[in-house]
Amino acid sequence: MALQRPQGTNDLLPSGSPTLKAFSSARGHEHVIGVARGVLERAGAQFMATPMFEEAEVVKRGVGGSTDIVRKEMFTVFYQGEHGGYVLRPEGTAPIVRAYIQNGLKQLPAPLKLWTTGAMFRAERNQQGRYRQFHQVDYEVLGSTDPLVDAEAIALMVRVVEALGLTGVGVKLGSIGDPEDRERYNAYLRELFTPERERLSGDSQDRLDRNPMRILDSKSDEDQRLIAGLHVQPMLAFLGEEARAHFEVVQGYLRAWGVPFEVDPSIVRGLDYYRRTAWELHHAHIGAKSALGGGGRYDGLAAQLGGPETPGIGWAFGVERLLIAMEQEGLVIPEPDGPALFLAAMDAENVPLVARVAMELRADAHVEFAYRAMKPGAAFKEADRKRARYAAVVGSNEAATGVLRVKALASGAQADVPLADLAAFLAQ
Ligand code: AMP
């Protein structure tokens, strides 16, 4: 049997592939990343990238030992039969902050705005919209605690989905407070859930010991029923004065700018490093549990990774999720332009000439040619199929005079163009 790709992964495919899906379209990925790049670079973000694997410690300390990601979703890297102490990165933030510390980026003017994109890896159960290798676009800002930076980050995330043409999207905004606030909240949750311990899923019993807030994020329906029955107070009720003031300012900016959002007291986010502002971007047709993206402030993360105290905030989109949402809204990824010129030889001996001319013209233009001799009718049909702007056929006559009859495919208009002038002709 022919070999298969690993479960839960996708090949990113060229247009027209028989098994093509919206989320596996290479052009779709390029489009989403290109649109995000435009929005983020116009806001002053610089591109950077980190390796696809990191020391396990970066992920354990960064993402947090009580998260599903660290407890059961990490891909460990073995080489030459040995456990290298590395894992494939499950997300982008902890690696960026690791790189920020290691490369002394603190010396750059703050706040430093960065963006990145690439594959992320989580050994999750295979489901629609949930893959073991998926792709994210990440935006991160380091070096500021200003709530204006939070509001700008959220507004940029919304700007990206708008620029993609998506409409059914909403921001669910929350705050998970400062560490002291979370301690008080966890103490409250511990008291509430301890008498119900036996009714919790095995995972959540574990969460009760390590980090009770995680229970609220549980994927188990049983847990969610119990949570609903207990009328659990939200984290927002436990915010300290400073975190509350910060949260109010963020909302004030968003309202002033007309960025639509709703406060959702249930936002807890699946990663341990968040602090204060946290949000998710949901799509009407993808389901409540499947966010398009999420983000939050992570002021404690740099110190957690052994670096100097550095506040930070960031977000990540799932590229596949965005493509699924676009498909559901009937949005079509624009086709790239076809060739400026399609050339074909009418007889075998002129094929090398056609190839040479095409390759020379490619210094400036998208030019394609036929590998075998073609009759003019077939050549123009092929040029149409490729959506070429111009087409020309080369026979012994054209080869001898060095002048091509170039046909504009849309209008049918023809012009005689010497080979030496073809580049200039295509440029105008
Ligand atoms: P997270 O880092 O968990 O906050 O995830 C950020 C975004 O990445 C999510 O909102 C999803 O859009 C996307 N994402 C996370 N996990 C997966 C996955 N297993 N497959 C596809 N997309 C994912």
Q: Which of 74, 134, 219 to mutate to test the pocket of ligand 1 (most atoms within 8 A of CB)?
A: 134
Rounded to an integer, what distance in angstroms lies between the CA atom of residue 176 and that of residue 102?
28
pLDDT along the chain (428 residues), means of 10: 95 95 96 98 98 95 86 89 88 97 97 98 89 97 98 98 94 93 93 93 90 86 91 92 97 97 83 86 75 94 95 97 95 91 97 97 97 97 96 96 96 96 94
Q: Is 207 annotated as a binding residue?
A: no
Residue partners of 107: CB distance under 8 A and separation at least 6: none
Query: Which one, of 152, 112, 161, lies nearest residue 281 by Cα?
Result: 161
Ligand 1 neighbours by CB, cut-off 6 Å: 91, 122, 124, 129-131, 134, 136, 270, 291-294, 316-318, 320-321
The protein residue with its alpha carbon nearest to ligand 1, atom 15, reads 318
Domain spanning 22-177+239-328: CATH 3.30.930.10:
yes
Whose Cα sits closest to atom 8 in ligand 1?
318
Question: In angstroms, rounded to a whole number, what is the distance separating the alpha carbons of residues 23 and 29?
Answer: 8
275, 297 contact by CB (below 8 A)? yes
92 among annotated binding-site residues: yes
Coil, strand or helix: which one is 305? coil
Q: Give the long-range contacts of residues 366-372, CB within 8 A, separation 24 or more.
A: 366/337, 366/338, 366/339, 366/340, 367/339, 367/340, 367/341, 367/342, 367/343, 367/426, 368/339, 368/341, 368/342, 368/343, 369/342, 369/343, 369/344, 370/342, 370/343, 370/344, 370/345, 372/348
Sketch the domain layout of the chain as residue ranges: 22-177+239-328, 341-427
298 among the known binding-site residues? no
Q: How far is the CA of 172 from the centre of ligand 1 (A)?
A: 16
* DSSP of 214-273: GGGG---HHHHHHHHHHTPPPGGGG--HHHHHHHHHHHHHHHHHT--EEE-TT---S-TT
CA of 309 to the centre of ligand 1 (A): 27
Distance 302 CA to ligand 1 centre (A): 22
Tokens 């105008």 -> residue:
428
Q: Is 390 annotated as a binding residue?
A: no
Instruction: Give the position, in ligand 1's atom list, of the atom nearest the Cα of 131.
Output: 20
CA of residue 193 to ligand 1 center, whole Å: 28
Atom of ligand 1 nearest to the CA of 132: 19
CATH of domain 341-427: 3.40.50.800
Contacts 24+ apart (CB under 8 A), 348-352: 348/372, 348/373, 350/394, 350/395, 350/396, 350/398, 350/399
* Site to substitute for ligand 1 among 67, 130, 298, most atoms within 8 A of C-beta: 130
Amino acid in the structure at residue 249? V
How far does residue 158's CA lie from ligand 1's centre (Å)?
Answer: 17
Number of other residues whose CB lies within 10 A of the CB of residue 200: 21
CA–CA separation, 401 vs 395, rounded Å? 10
For atom 20 of ligand 1, the residue with the nearest CA is 130
Query: Do the Cβ atoms of 315 and 138 come closer than 8 Å?
Result: yes
d(CA 293, CA 212): 24
- Report CA(140)–ligand 1 centroid distance (Å): 16
Query: CB burial class (10 A; 0-12, 13-18, 19+) of residue 111?
Result: buried
Which pLDDT belongs to residue 81? Answer: 77
* Shortest-distance atom of ligand 1 to CA 280: 10
Nearest CA to ligand 1 atom 11: 318
Give the Cα separation of 158 and 105 in Å (integer).
27
Both structure tokens of 67:
């998260």
- If you take atom 9 of ligand 1, which residue's CA is the nearest one? 293
Among 321, 323, 324, the mutation site with the greatest number of ligand 1 atoms within 8 A of its Cβ is: 321
Q: Which H or E element spans position 304? A: helix 301-304
CA distance 242 to 264: 19
Point out the ligand 1 atom lying closest to the alpha carbon of residue 124.
19
Name the residue of 68, 69, 72, 122 whose CB sits within 8 Å of the most ligand 1 atoms, as the mutation to test its pocket: 122
**Pair 190, 208: CB distance under 8 Å:** yes
pTM of the model: 0.92
Ligand 1 atom 1 nearest Cα: 294
| Per-residue model confidence (pLDDT) at position 288 | 57
- The Å distance, Cα 318 to ligand 1 centre, comes to 5
User: Does the annotation place 136 within a ligand binding site?
Assistant: yes
Q: Is 377 annotated as a binding residue?
A: no
The confidence score (pLDDT) of residue 267 equals 83
Strand partners, 342: 368, 391
Both tokens of residue 319? 């590229």
> 128 vs 8, 35, 132, 185, 335, CA distance in Å?
10, 24, 11, 34, 26
Cα angle value 421/427/428 (rounded, 5°): 95
Instruction: Establish whether 140 is an annotated binding residue.
Output: yes
Q: How far apart are CA 242 and CA 238, in angstroms?
A: 12
Nearest CA to ligand 1 atom 4: 294
